[in-house]
Amino acid sequence: MSDHLSISEGHHLPVAGCKNESLYAIGARFESPDALLRATAALQKSGFSCYECHTPYPVHGLAEKMRLPKSILSLLVLGGGVSAILIALSMEIIPTSFIYPLVVDGKPTNFSALPQFIPIVVALTLMIGAVTAVIGMILLGGMPRFNHPMFAWDLFERGASRSFFIVVEALDPKFTTASVTELLQDQGGLDVTAIHQETFEEGARDLKASDKE
């Protein structure tokens, strides 16, 4: 979109999305991981907390610079694995030892028969652990989400697979358009852009245009 947002006299910021909608964030592109890390450190030093970094591959040290807390995904997977073990043992031990205690090939029906239950326990633990990991990753990542304001930024849509981006969200307590713009530009940020929410009608028009292409 070719509109511009005035942040100071004589200075205008490119606008992505619908300018009549609320401001989502100020974004900037960086040419290297090192530049991204320096900008992240500057944001942390300035007291910003509501921002996102978008990279085409994992950047070593970025999580530490952003001071991200440890994900609870590992605890969810552990809970799924423990639940699977209890479910599998219950499904095998209760019928075999208490409801239908049948002797098969001389195998005992008490708890000394536990080794024969191990294959089922392992299989169910792997299955439920994997399903928990996938579902947890999707939900913790804020998905499913059919659209995102970032996709209104043409530069991000084209360069997300090869460039590095920082987006400072407008809901940050320290956010002002002028201060964020100045900070990102001082850290070498390129193509600094005001990203607005995209209306449903605008998204539908973009989708129709892409289908025609």
Q: What distances in angstroms separate CA 114 from CA 44, 90, 107, 111, 201, one per listed residue?
A: 54, 11, 10, 6, 61
Quick one: 80 and 50 in the same domain?
A: no
pLDDT the model gives residue 83: 95
Query: Rounded CA gap, 100 and 69, in Å?
Result: 49
Domain ends where: 87, 118, 140?
A: 140
Q: Are 96 and 113 in contact (CB under 8 A)?
A: yes
Q: Of the given ranges (23-27, 50-54, 62-66, 71-75), which has the lowest mean pLDDT?
A: 62-66
- Same domain membership, residue 52 and residue 37: yes
Checking if the pLDDT of 152 tops 90, the result is no
Question: What are the backbone angles phi and psi of residue 166, rounded to the nearest 5°?
Answer: -120, 135
| pLDDT classification of 201: cutoffs 50, 70, 90 | very low
Q: Are residues 65 and 153 in the same domain?
A: yes
Strand partners, 8: 11
Paired strand residues for 6: 12
The percent of residues above 90 in pLDDT, for the chain, comes to 18
Choose the final residue of a domain: 140, 174, 196: 140
- 90 and 185 co-located in one domain: no
Q: Within this chain, do residues 92 and 133 fall inside the same structural domain, yes or no?
A: yes
Output 69 or 147, whichever has higher pLDDT.
Answer: 69
Tell whether 208 and 153 lie within a shared domain.
yes
Predicted local confidence at residue 209, as pLDDT: 45
Rounded to an integer, the average pLDDT of 12-35 is 83
Whether 105 shows a pLDDT value over 80: the answer reads no
Mark whether 183 and 205 lie in a shared domain.
Answer: yes
- How many domains does the structure of the chain reveal? 2
Q: With 70 as the cut, is the pLDDT of residue 40 above it?
A: yes
Q: Are residues 134 and 161 in the same domain?
A: no
Shared domain for 104 and 123, answered yes or no, is: yes
| pLDDT value at residue 204 | 42
**Domain membership of residue 12 as a residue range:** 4-70+148-212
More confident residue, 30 or 206: 30
Q: pTM of the entire structure?
A: 0.64
Looking at residue 189, its pLDDT comes to 86
Looking at per-residue confidence, does 98 or 135 come out higher? 135
148 versus 195: the higher-pLDDT residue is 195
Q: Are 117 and 29 found together in one domain?
A: no
Does position 161 have pLDDT exceeding 50, yes or no? yes
pLDDT at residue number 87: 93
- Whether residues 80 and 124 share a domain: the answer is yes
Q: Which of 123, 140, 157 is the last residue of a domain?
A: 140
CA 186 to chain centre: 27
| CB-CB contact of 13 with 7 (8 Å) | yes
Mean pLDDT over each residue of the chain, to the nearest integer: 80
- Percent of the chain surpassing pLDDT 70: 85
- pLDDT band per the 50, 70, 90 thresholds, residue 125: very high
Residues 64 and 159 in one domain: yes
Q: Say which CATH number the domain at 205 has.
A: 3.30.70
Q: What pLDDT shows up at residue 3?
A: 52
